Amino acid sequence: MEKIKMTTPLVEMDGDEMTRILWAMIKEELLEPFIDLNTEYYDLGLQYRNETDDQVTIDAAEATKKYKVAVKCATITPNHARMEEYDLKKMYKSPNGTIRAILDGTVFRAPIIVKGIEPCVRNWKKPITLARHAYGDIYKNTEMSIDKPGKVELVYTSEDGEEKRALIQEFKAPGIAMGMHNMQASIESFARSCFNYALDTKQDVWFGAKDTISKTYDARFKQVFQEIFEKEFKEKFEEAGLVYFYSLIDDIVARVMKAEGGFIWACKNYDGDVMSDMVSSAFGSLAMMTSVLVSPQGYYEYEAAHGTVQRHYYRHLEGHETSTNSVATIFAWTGALRKRGELDQNEALVNFADKLEKATIMTIESGKMTKDLAIITTLENPQILNSREFILEIRKTLETL
């Protein structure tokens, strides 16, 4: 069989630990036998990030601007333990944070639905895609511990010397305080990313915030979404038969639990962080969750939602077999290959991505799966495979399609 050709490279960002092992297996068994893989390779493994003073992460993000599509393996975000383990020159920032700061945009996370892995919420029949704003709020906050009576104020001084002040609290006793911000442009691009992604994937958009309590901050998010929707998207949504609505976050949460899925839930940064973990575990497993960063300029970076699966890696290093689920990493590749194919009008590549996803799902539905799924499946007598066996079974299924 002739291999599929690629006209434009994909930005490939390799990573760390167990996911790095899976990455190599996926390429060897599921991609390279079928595609003349054309990637520009960046090694975001911690050792090479350290050798390059993290320049490689910046280069990879810049390359994503050039080629528009990237696929990323999970990477270690260094902490004190990692400083020692890898003898690091400094405690580098999270690669995802660095990449998001360069590309801007919104992270969309969606569960991969298979028969036999049933959501805990019985009425969820279709995936719920979580759109998480990836800039600001408490992730870029300033905090203070107050240890004796005094007052805390918010002070703004404009460049031309104008001053605005607001009292946060007159402390009569010890306490805590916090200041945070967001940017008009970032909120606007968040809104546009959500509406564009909705049109791309033919799904409604639900957005929730707390504007009844936060009358300036959250109210701004609500207002920006409404204005951009009215001006730029209303007609396109009507043509596509789609709906956008805003409600209070607590009302949205209640509706989500009663809904059947099949929509995009837009969340502010913190809400998205927390709710995506709830939604993914309620759908079955973190290892069955895809994640894509969509920038307002139309750059796409695909990855798995989980980390480097450190515990499994240490077992692997000790020479034990692991049963690590590669599905989300496979879907990161198929997402990127499909998008590459769409942008390049490379139908063969799009078809291949569809087939590989189908083969992956069929393999699990036939009862062959990794341990994390075997524990929760409703299928009887699942066959537990190790990391490589599972990938080889997917290959067998793929070759029948």
Binding residues for Mg ion (CB under 5 A): 273, 277
Query: Computed from CA positions of residues 182, 265, 365, 353, in that sequence, does the dihedral angle turn out positive or negative?
Result: negative
CB of 274 to Mg ion, least distance (A): 6
Cβ(56)–Cβ(49) under 8 Å?
A: yes
Residue 372 binds to ligand NAP (criterion: CB under 6 A): yes
Residues 134-193 that bind ligand NAP (CB under 6 A): none
Phi, psi of 202, deg, nearest 5: 55, 55
CB of 110 to Mg ion, least distance (A): 15
What does DSSP say about strands 289-294 and 106-111: parallel, antiparallel, or unpaired? antiparallel
- Residue of 170, 168, 172, 169 lying closest to 149 (CA atoms): 172
Residue 57 binds to ligand NAP (criterion: CB under 6 A): no
277 binds, among ligand NAP, Mg ion, none (CB under 5 to 8 A by kind): Mg ion
Binding part of the chain for ligand NAP, among 209-217, 237-245, 249-257, 302-310 by CB under 6 A, reads 302-310
Q: Which residues, listed in sequence order, are joined to residue 369 by a DSSP beta bridge? A: 384
Residue 309 binds to ligand NAP (criterion: CB under 6 A): yes
- When computed from its CA atoms, the radius of gyration of the chain, rounded to whole angstroms, is 23
**Cβ distance to ligand NAP smaller for residue 73 or 259:** 73
Site for ligand NAP (CB under 6 A): which residue of 245, 307, 366, 389? 307
Count residues binding ligand NAP (CB under 6 A): 17
Binding part of the chain for ligand NAP, among 70-78, 98-106, 233-241, 357-365 by CB under 6 A, reads 70-78
CB of 311 to ligand NAP, least distance (A): 4
Binding part of the chain for ligand NAP, among 162-170, 257-265, 307-315, 346-354 by CB under 6 A, reads 307-315
**Cβ distance to ligand NAP smaller for residue 39 or 308:** 308
For the CA atoms of 23, 27, 28, 34, the dihedral, rounded to the nearest 10 degrees, stands at 160
Q: Tokens representing 32?
A: 């390279």
Q: Which helix (DSSP H) or strand (DSSP E) does residue 294 occupy?
A: strand 289-294
> 90: buried, middle or exposed (CB in 10 Å: 19+, 13-18, 0-12)?
exposed
- Residue of 301, 373, 300 lying closest to 116 (CA atoms): 373
Q: Where are the alpha helices (DSSP H) in 141-259?
A: 184-201, 217-228, 234-240, 249-258
Site for ligand NAP (CB under 6 A): which residue of 324, 346, 360, 377? 324
273 binds, among ligand NAP, Mg ion, none (CB under 5 to 8 A by kind): Mg ion
Long-range contact set of residues 196-202: C-beta below 8 Å, sequence gap at least 24: 196/294, 197/106, 197/108, 197/129, 197/131, 197/264, 197/294, 198/237, 198/242, 198/244, 198/264, 199/233, 199/236, 199/237, 199/240, 199/242, 201/129, 201/264, 202/240, 202/242
The site string for ligand NAP over 88-127 (x = CB under 6 A, - otherwise) reads --------x-------------------------------
Residues 273-292 that bind ligand NAP (CB under 6 A): 286-287
Site for ligand NAP (CB under 6 A): which residue of 76, 103, 336, 385? 76
**Cβ distance to ligand NAP smaller for residue 195 or 302:** 302
Spatial distance between the Cα atoms of 63 and 29, rounded to a whole number of angstroms: 26
Q: Tokens representing 281?
A: 């575990």
Site for ligand NAP (CB under 6 A): which residue of 276, 308, 363, 377? 308
Q: Collapse the DSSP code of 43 into the 3-class scheme (helix H, G, I; strand E, B; otherwise coil) and give the result.
A: strand
106 binds, among Mg ion, ligand NAP, none (CB under 5 to 8 A by kind): none
71 binds, among Mg ion, ligand NAP, none (CB under 5 to 8 A by kind): none
**Cβ distance to ligand NAP smaller for residue 5 or 311:** 311
Residue 310 binds to ligand NAP (criterion: CB under 6 A): yes
- Residue of 102, 112, 106, 126 lying closest to 271 (CA atoms): 106
Residue 360 binds to ligand NAP (criterion: CB under 6 A): no
For the CA atoms of 70, 297, 184, 140, the dihedral, rounded to the nearest 10 degrees, stands at 10
Binding part of the chain for ligand NAP, among 174-182, 191-199, 266-274, 305-313 by CB under 6 A, reads 305-313
14 binds, among ligand NAP, Mg ion, none (CB under 5 to 8 A by kind): none
Which residues of the shown chain bind ligand NAP in the complex (CB under 6 A)? 74-77, 96, 286-287, 303, 306-311, 324-325, 372
